[in-house]
Amino acid sequence: MKRAAIWPVSLAVLALFSSSHAHAAATRRFALAVGANRGAADRVPLRYAVADTERFAQVITRMGGVSANDLTILREPSRKAFLDALAEMRTKAVETRAGDSRTEVVVYFSGHADESGLMLGRDTLNYRDLRAALHRMDADIGIAVLDACASGAITRLKGGQTHPAFLSDLSTQVQGYAFLASSSENEAAQESDHLQGSYFTHALLSGLRGAADVSGDGKVTLGEAYQFAFGETLAATTTTQAGAQHPSWDIKMAGTGDVVLTDVRQTMSGLSLGGELDGRFFIHNQKRQLIAELHKPAGRTIELGLEPGEYEVYYEQEPALLRTRVALADGQRLTIDRSQFRSARRVPTRRRGPDARAPLPPYVLDGRSRVSMSFGASSANVSVRRTWDDGEDVNVGGGEFSFSFSHWLRKDVALDVAIGGTRLGVRTTRLMDGEEVNTDGLFFLLCGARYYPPVEGSFKPYVSASLGPMTDIDVRTFTPTWSDKKEETDVTDSGTSLGAYVGGGVDLLISRHFHLGLYSGTVLRSGYKSRLGVGMSFGWTWGRGRVRR
């Protein structure tokens, strides 16, 4: 992403109704999953809101007791389409309750929002209208989770809090509703290129797959899922550019029993992390998508519900990174332990925010290399005069140029090698018997270093110093007027001696690979008067680069 960093609205899970009898025959659960990448005209389109919605729908149908016939997915809907889907769900819920069955409704939204409501393209669904539509369903259990900027405003309507305390684990039947929001009312919800989704939804789905099952009974309750999503979202966003993101809640529940959202042991296949493992785990599917992420303490076995297929499991146990591959058949449940992991090379990842896995900014130079060309002048002069024999003397001098190679040992120190010339001049004298051209200059091969003060951004001031051999060369070419005389060329080398160059300048990094620069400096050499030179440079930079913490 990253992509210049854009911090959009992310995820909203709007209504989720369940109980300890979530999978009993007398209970029927309905789900509405809504995703909208587009918001108001002044909002940057999101990338992953619809994808988050589809992932949520997949988990809630495979592990959350929702049949395919009772699931509705809306992609980029209008306000009317959203309300129509809620009304249709209400009709089904009323019919179900008329048959003496419990009803549970799951409504999930991922997209843009502000303090007044959800943004559906050019439409806005007011929070009060949304809450009213959910209450009219008259279901046994109602849970709403919004993942969007300022989505915590929906919890403020009924006095919701922004701390992680949640529903305690009671015993049998429970009725009521719960609204979950991915951020507080004045915070931005965030999505990540690395995750290819929202931080909150990624954490929530990891928890629903089994990472949040603290009790170890194979079931993930509402309280467990929320506390896991809260902690993981807060930890992942603490160092991002948009700042820490605090999920919030508003709950009105009565009766006994906690709300079971998913049953890990009723999935088609599963993966168990052995009790001796202690560290952070990342599970990727065959498409290299990160589908679950969690920290596992020693002494606790965690079982994750996964679809049949091949997976790569990364085990981060500082400072080592380990990896193993597993293949899950339909209905198969595997347990992995420490002996199955092998060492893995750390691969750069892309994640928004200035953390260790973020894409490097274009102005990072540490570990990179550059070739550049410079042009300038040192006491430049131009003169034209007549000679005694009615000839003409044209003198142009003071130019300089160089080609250089630089490599950054650190972000503030670069080594330089340069070849070029300074005090370059051309003198043309037209005489009666021919034309004489004298070309002279001080040529050099310099090795040195430059230092960049700690200034962040694309403007990089520096000071530099170099040392190397310097040679004065004068080339005289005489071209006679008369054809019976030959052209004469004489080269005079005044000798080579050690010299130095000191100066400074500023680089303007206009992209990750191109730069423009201004410089000023002088040559120091025995027997020569110092002259200040100025000029500009441009060049090409390459290499992966690195950020050291």
HEC profile of 206-247? HHHHHHCCCCCCCEEEHHHHHHHHHHHHHHHHCCCCCCCCCC
Could you tell me the pLDDT band of residue 96, with boundaries at 50, 70 and 90? confident
* Residue 362 in domain: no
Q: Comparing 545 with 2, which gets the higher pLDDT?
A: 545
Could you tell me the pLDDT band of residue 474, with boundaries at 50, 70 and 90? confident
Are residue 424 and residue 518 in the same domain, yes or no? Answer: yes
Question: Residue 33's domain spans which residues?
Answer: 11-265
Are residue 397 and residue 322 in the same domain, yes or no? Answer: no
pLDDT tens by residue, 373-397: 999 887 766 666 665 555 666 666 6
* Residue 478 in domain: no
Are residue 249 and residue 300 in the same domain, yes or no? Answer: no
Are residue 376 and residue 461 in the same domain, yes or no? Answer: yes
Contacts of 317 (CB under 8 A, 6+ apart): 278, 279
Going by C-alpha positions, the residue among 368, 458, 446, 374 that lies closest to residue 414 is 368
Q: Comparing 76 with 240, which gets the higher pLDDT?
A: 76
Residue 117 to residues 56, 131, 194, 460, Cα–Cα distance (Å):
21, 11, 28, 44
* Average pLDDT score over residue span 435-456: 87
pLDDT computed for residue 137 by the predictor: 84
Are residue 453 and residue 381 in the same domain, yes or no? Answer: yes
Are residue 212 and residue 295 in the same domain, yes or no? Answer: no
Residue 316 to residues 211, 323, 436, 523, 548, Cα–Cα distance (Å):
16, 9, 75, 54, 19
Q: Comparing 500 with 265, which gets the higher pLDDT?
A: 500
pLDDT tens by residue, 208-232: 999 999 888 889 988 888 888 888 8
Are residue 300 and residue 408 in the same domain, yes or no? Answer: no
Are residue 223 and residue 339 in the same domain, yes or no? Answer: no
The CA distance from 354 to 2, in Å, is: 10
pLDDT computed for residue 58 by the predictor: 92
Share of the chain above pLDDT 90, in %: 27
pLDDT tens by residue, 285-308: 888 888 888 888 888 889 999 989
pLDDT at 455 over 50: yes
Going by C-alpha positions, the residue among 459, 500, 475 that lies closest to residue 425 is 475
The CA distance from 167 to 224, in Å, is: 9
Q: Give the domain CATH number at 273.
A: 2.60.40.1120
Q: Give the domain CATH number at 417.
A: 2.40.160.20
The CA distance from 381 to 356, in Å, is: 53
Could you tell me the pLDDT band of residue 13, with boundaries at 50, 70 and 90? very low
* Residue 353 in domain: no
Are residue 513 and residue 527 in the same domain, yes or no? Answer: yes
Q: Give the domain CATH number at 195.
A: 3.40.50.1460
SS3 of residue 255 by DSSP? strand
The CA distance from 200 to 190, in Å, is: 8
Q: Comparing 303 with 19, which gets the higher pLDDT?
A: 303
| C-beta neighbour count of 389 within 10 angstroms | 9
What is the number of domains present in the chain? 3
Which of 10-14, 441-445, 449-453, 462-466 has the lowest average pLDDT?
10-14
**pTM, rounded to two decimals:** 0.56
The two tokens of residue 129 are 């209208």
Which of 138-142, 327-331, 358-362, 364-368 has the lowest average pLDDT?
358-362
Place of tokens 């309280």: 223
Could you tell me the pLDDT band of residue 85, with boundaries at 50, 70 and 90? very high
The CA distance from 223 to 207, in Å, is: 11
pLDDT computed for residue 452 by the predictor: 92
Q: Are 52 and 126 in contact (CB under 8 A)?
A: no
pLDDT at 159 over 50: no
Last residue of a domain, one of 265, 294, 318: 265
Are residue 420 and residue 296 in the same domain, yes or no? Answer: no
pLDDT computed for residue 283 by the predictor: 92
pLDDT computed for residue 169 by the predictor: 36
The CA distance from 406 to 517, in Å, is: 14
The two tokens of residue 220 are 């993930």
On average, the pLDDT of the chain sits at 79
pLDDT at 80 over 90: yes
* Residue 86 in domain: yes
Last residue of a domain, one of 230, 248, 265: 265
* Residue 148 in domain: yes
Could you tell me the pLDDT band of residue 463, with boundaries at 50, 70 and 90? very high
pLDDT at 256 over 90: no
Which of 37-46, 50-59, 143-152 has the lowest average pLDDT?
143-152
pLDDT computed for residue 140 by the predictor: 85
pLDDT at 11 over 50: no
* Residue 489 in domain: no
Last residue of a domain, one of 343, 377, 393: 343
pLDDT tens by residue, 414-434: 999 999 988 887 777 777 677
Are residue 288 and residue 258 in the same domain, yes or no? Answer: no
DSSP summary character for residue 264: G
* Residue 336 in domain: yes
* Residue 521 in domain: yes
Are residue 169 and residue 315 in the same domain, yes or no? Answer: no
* Average pLDDT score over residue span 122-140: 87
The whole-angstrom distance between residue 309's C-alpha and the CA centroid of its chain comes to: 28
